[in-house]
Structure 1
Amino acid sequence: MSPNGASFGIRNMKFNRYAGGTGRILFLILLFLALLLPAEDLSAMTRKIQGPVNIESDFLDYRKDEDTYFARGNVIIRFTDGVLEADRVSLNKATNEALAEGHVVLKSGGDILQGDTLRFNIETKSGATENGRIFMVRNNVYLKGARIEKEGEAHYRIFDGKVTTCDGEIPEWSISGKEMAVTIDGYGTVKHGKFNVLDQPIFYTPYLIFPVKTTRQSGLLMPTLAYSRDKHGVDVEVPFFWEISKNLDATFYQRYMSKRGFKEGVEFRYMISPDTYGTFYADYLNDTKDIRETSGSIKRDWHSDQQRGSFYFNSQTTFSPGFYLRTDINKVSDNWYFKDFSSQNYYKSNYSTDPMQRFRKVSFDADKALNSLDSTVRMVKDEELYNITALARYTDDFRSPSNDETLQKYPEISLYTVRRPLLKTPLYGMVNGTYDYFYRSEGQKGHLYDVQPVVTLPVRLGRYARFVPEFSVQQTIWDRNDHDEENSSEGTHQGDRQVYRMEANLNTEFSRIYSVGWKLFDKLRHVIKPELTYAYIPDPHQDDAPDYVQRIDETNGLTYALTNTLTARMKGEDGTTTYREILRFKVFQTYEIDKVEHYYHEVGQPEDEHFQDLNMELNLDPCSFLSFSARNRLNVNNGEWWKTDYDLVVRDQRGDSAHLQYRYTEDLVKEINLRVNAKLTRDLDALFTIKRNEQDGKDVEKSVLIKYHRQCWSVDVGFADEGDDQRFLLSVSLYGIGN
């Protein structure tokens, strides 16, 4: 046991020659050699040792008059987290001064310290090395200097020093200076510094600060620099990150736009437990830009000093497994917010559909095409046999000059049960029920009660078919509490509706496995699944229902479908077996036995016809380099495709990729989108984006970004034309240091 309580162990020790001393001296020298390396961090040259120590040397000696111990000749000291190598290592017992000389190499955790000599105090953890070099593996930083002094656990002072993240003897860029101070997981400073390219000085700076961070730390984050010709002018944003505590942090955003003014934002993030966390964000701008604009039914004639901003709160609080409160609140000051800031905003940067991203949960793509914005608060109780959810939803409609007529839902309480056997019969049943209160300042509003019991009877028809009849009754009751004279005649204030549903599904499945022995696949499984579904809903008699009641169409139709799938079995080089659905093709259509009028009629959808649209869905995914999907609808009565959507993605092993997208809906949408990422050379990439509205004959967006990247730096040059604005981008990144 060492004096500071650290434990150590000796596994073996090799000597070619031993001079002087006794067994007690041997024990002491092992003790102090074990203390030579403890309590120093990897980035601080040494680390506290916990566990066995293995010491090898050619010669070991103790000089009593100097109270000093010596290990000489190919000294190698191995410990739990690293290795120290030197020609000679000595330790003065009285001063605790240790000295390693000759080809000194300290390796720990992947970081490497090299020098001619290494002198340090094992108590104060400070010391110095001559002609030293340090490599910090966590962010690939190289430090070298004529003299490196270590002050404390993770602070260095370097004289006639140089720092870079480039590999090689002659780095492509470096920062050098007469005196440098570096704090690991903090910042570095340079006095009388020079920025060098291939070791040739390019410019001089009397003082420079740069980040040397490997973990979450308070400090400045990378700025954003851009120029917008029409919307913002010179655009600079500098974020500052503040680690308040282990479970709480904040980021402050300072953004200057020469045509609009200063926009200030703040984000707070907290995590109490893996299931309880949240993010709050808000920003404010006193907009000084004069704007006159009309878009659809909304218009603006703004002069300076428009007070603008946004607010966002996303959180989850878990009380017990399956019982939690989730909020997703989004508010902006005006209908033009995302149109003005579509190129860069907090919401666009934090948009994600990945549920594992706790702090990137913005659920909408915040660009200028956004027509509405929802805010929700829900409390959920999720049990094995049922789910109860209480919900409040508020919607901002950006297409309307006023939100007074927009229907809001608060609260909604819903109950869903799991389909279960009914007593000891072959029947299965479940019950769904909801209560809603719909509110708006102008228009119909009130209560809505809805309950729907469902009964099914699954039946196997031998080995090849399955028949599932289903019957349900949906009871809807409304109670309006608006007193607007204009709306009083548009439906009864109190009433109800019964909807009877009967469905029956008959399906079967045929499959066959083919041994193909191809390079990519060794076997293919082909499945053909035909199915028939009959649905009957008599006239619900809902003409007097308020406009906030969802209409249900009268139905008496037969839907037939055919699905083909191909699943491949693949074997990897390591012998593992994986499966991939390489093809899925489904065709389905409904035949209305009785001609009915659809309440919610889509443009292009057949009216008063027996045969409804022929729908086709195709997914083709044969390998990681190619995927294709199609969603088409054909009006069989006039022979016209009134809705067609295609997506094609092509990739290669180099990293080239292309994504072509086509969207068409008759009289509404006709657009082509293309995104190409081309690796022109090993170091040069080009990214092209084209979005074109064929309906109006206009280019929505055209952009190009050229990226030149090396092992330790990159340059991005870009231009974007979005129709109503043009933006220029220039970004230089020094990897491991900043942008």
Structure 2
Amino acid sequence: MRRVFLSIAFLLICAPAYGNTITAEHLEHFEKEDKYVATGNVHIVRDGAVVTAEKAVLYNKTGDTELIGNVVYEDETVIINTEKANLNIDKQTGTMDNALIFVKERAYRVVSKDAKVLGLQAQRKQAHYWVYGEKVAKLGEDRFHAERATITTCNSDPCLRPEELRVKRYLGAPAQVVQASSPAWTIEGSEVDVTVGDKMTAQNTTLKAGGKTPFFYSPYFSAALGKDRQTGFLMPKIGTSSLKGFLYSQPFYWAIDDNKDATVQVDYMSKLGFGKSVQYRYLDFNGQGEWNAYHLYDKEKKQHYEEYRGYSDIVFTPDIKAYADIQYVNHRDFYQRLGTTPYATTQRFLQS
């Protein structure tokens, strides 16, 4: 058996078909198995994926890779932080222990047939989210299965940013560096399945505020996460304020057809009561529009708060168009009491 030893940082350029590189403080190559054993500041680039670790064993022909110590895997879709992983980088599959997955935010440009006629185009975003699992299986390019898992879409300052993921952990994951602040809310499940750009399902789920206090249990939970419009419950919103108290908002999205949709949302505010909202949107050859209605009975002030607002663009001919914009509130202090945006933000755009 022939071995190649290098005790300094080494750069290996593999076959041109792969366009791969490996760097490490110490690298061994076993020719018979076409296996590389790298230790110390390991950095692997292979087929668009970047992997760093303290130690790696890479089988070049198959792409099978054993990774140990401060492992970070990154591709166009996700960043994964774990202490130990067995991955096939070529197939984008493998298993990980105590893994924290950051699914990146992505923007999509939507130009429907109607939008082209109207000279309109829209951009939508898939918001980023986090998944932590004690046992995680990567089942392909965009599919994950996690056991004893936690998920959140936390997007506030206390949450980790992508670059901080490389040195920190949160969501209760064991780590050398623990974040001081917890996310505003989390969903925990015994089994969680995530398909990036599609949906998330979880079994035996518990919804927690501040990552600690449980207040809702369900044997099954499903939420749409992707760019495609799907009928179903969206991720809830949870928070607190001195005026509203504890706040929980649960939106439900209805994809009526390709160019129409609606969102119904129920808001629970511990100090004010229950709010209800409906949003309807459409886009067709004759125009586009959005209409919203909101109602809350304020139990503190013992009065009803209502808002109705919306707009319609109507196209009669390419040269003749009409526009309507209506906004009505029944109390002057509506926005002081409830804010300017009580409606759900679905980030889902119409197309035909």
TM, length-normalised to structure 2 = 0.56
Alignment correspondent of 2:275? none
Is it true that 1:251 corresponds to 2:260 in the alignment?
A: yes
Distance 1:217 1:153 in 2: 21
Kindly report structure 1 stretches of 4+ aligned residues shifted beyond 6 Å.
79-82, 265-268, 733-736
Is it true that 1:205 corresponds to 2:196 in the alignment?
A: no
Alignment correspondent of 2:143? 155
Alignment correspondent of 1:16? 7
Distance 2:63 2:77 in 1: 27
Q: 1:191 aligns with which of 191, 200, 203?
A: 203
**Deviation, structure 1 residue 175:** 0.5
Identity %: 20
Distance 1:121 1:253 in 2: 42
Alignment correspondent of 1:125? 92
CA contact (8 A) 2:232 2:254 kept: yes
Closer, same or farther in 2 for the Cα pair 1:153/1:251, shift >3 Å? farther
**Deviation, structure 1 residue 180:** 0.5
Structure-to-structure mapping, 1:324-363, within 5 angstroms: 343-344=307-308, 348-349=309-310, 351=311, 362-363=312-313
Structure ranking higher on relative contact order (CA contacts 8 Å, 6+ apart) = 2
CA contact (8 A) 1:221 1:241 kept: no
Distance 1:82 1:217 in 2: 29
Closer, same or farther in 2 for the Cα pair 1:144/1:108, shift >3 Å? same
**Any idea what SS the aligned residue of 1:133 has?**
strand
Q: 1:142 aligns with which of 105, 130, 133?
A: 130
CA deviations on 1:75-130 (whole Å, 9 max, x unpaired) are 12357967421112222356542222211012445952100122222443321111
CA deviations on 1:402-459 (whole Å, 9 max, x unpaired) are xxxxxxxxxxxxxxxxxxxxxxxxxxxxxxxxxxxxxxxxxxxxxxxxxxxxxxxxxx
CA contact (8 A) 1:90 1:100 kept: yes
CA contact (8 A) 1:165 1:735 kept: no
Give aligned pairs, total: 250
Alignment correspondent of 1:174? 186
Closer, same or farther in 2 for the Cα pair 1:137/1:153, shift >3 Å? closer
CA contact (8 A) 1:217 1:242 kept: no
CA deviations on 1:338-368 (whole Å, 9 max, x unpaired) are xxxx954xxx43x2xxxxxxxxxx24xxxxx
CA contact (8 A) 1:60 1:71 kept: yes
Distance 1:217 1:96 in 2: 35
Distance 1:120 1:209 in 2: 28
Query: Which amino acid is 1:203 matched to?
Result: F
Alignment correspondent of 1:314? 287
Closer, same or farther in 2 for the Cα pair 1:266/1:730, shift >3 Å? closer
Q: 1:240 aligns with which of 242, 249, 254?
A: 254
Query: Which amino acid is 2:138 matched to?
Result: K
Is it true that 1:104 corresponds to 2:88 in the alignment?
A: no
Is it true that 1:704 corresponds to 2:334 in the alignment?
A: yes
**Deviation, structure 1 residue 200:** 2.6
Closer, same or farther in 2 for the Cα pair 1:106/1:254, shift >3 Å? closer
Q: 2:26 aligns with which of 43, 48, 59?
A: 59
Query: Which amino acid is 2:69 matched to?
Result: G
CA contact (8 A) 1:250 1:266 kept: no
Q: Which has the larger radius of gyration?
A: 1
CA deviations on 1:168-199 (whole Å, 9 max, x unpaired) are 63222111111101111121111011111232
**Any idea what SS the aligned residue of 2:141 has?**
coil
Distance 1:112 1:131 in 2: 14
Distance 2:128 2:229 in 1: 18
Q: Structure 2 unaligned runs (5+)? A: 106-126, 161-178, 236-249, 266-278, 290-305, 348-352
TM, length-normalised to structure 1 = 0.29
Alignment correspondent of 1:73? 40
CA contact (8 A) 1:175 1:196 kept: yes
RMSD: 4.6
**Any idea what SS the aligned residue of 1:702 has?**
coil
CA deviations on 1:353-408 (whole Å, 9 max, x unpaired) are xxxxxxxxx24xxxxxxxxxxx763355xxxxxxxxxx799xxxxxxxxxxxxxxx
**Any idea what SS the aligned residue of 1:31 has?**
coil
Distance 1:89 1:216 in 2: 37
CA contact (8 A) 1:186 1:217 kept: no
Q: 2:316 aligns with which of 377, 382, 407?
A: 377
Closer, same or farther in 2 for the Cα pair 1:211/1:379, shift >3 Å? closer
Closer, same or farther in 2 for the Cα pair 1:152/1:217, shift >3 Å? farther
CA contact (8 A) 2:96 2:137 kept: yes
Distance 2:262 2:345 in 1: 22
**Deviation, structure 1 residue 131:** 1.0
Closer, same or farther in 2 for the Cα pair 1:150/1:71, shift >3 Å? same
CA contact (8 A) 1:17 1:59 kept: yes
**Deviation, structure 1 residue 717:** 7.8
Query: Which amino acid is 2:204 matched to?
Result: H
**Deviation, structure 1 residue 157:** 0.6
Distance 1:197 1:734 in 2: 21
CA contact (8 A) 1:15 1:56 kept: no
**Any idea what SS the aligned residue of 2:15 has?**
helix
Closer, same or farther in 2 for the Cα pair 1:62/1:80, shift >3 Å? closer
Closer, same or farther in 2 for the Cα pair 1:106/1:735, shift >3 Å? farther
Closer, same or farther in 2 for the Cα pair 1:115/1:180, shift >3 Å? same
Structure-to-structure mapping, 1:502-513, within 5 angstroms: none
Distance 2:264 2:90 in 1: 47
Distance 1:240 1:131 in 2: 36
CA contact (8 A) 1:89 1:98 kept: yes
CA contact (8 A) 1:100 1:117 kept: yes
Q: 1:31 aligns with which of 2, 6, 15?
A: 15
Distance 2:61 2:280 in 1: 54
Distance 2:57 2:207 in 1: 39
Closer, same or farther in 2 for the Cα pair 1:128/1:734, shift >3 Å? farther
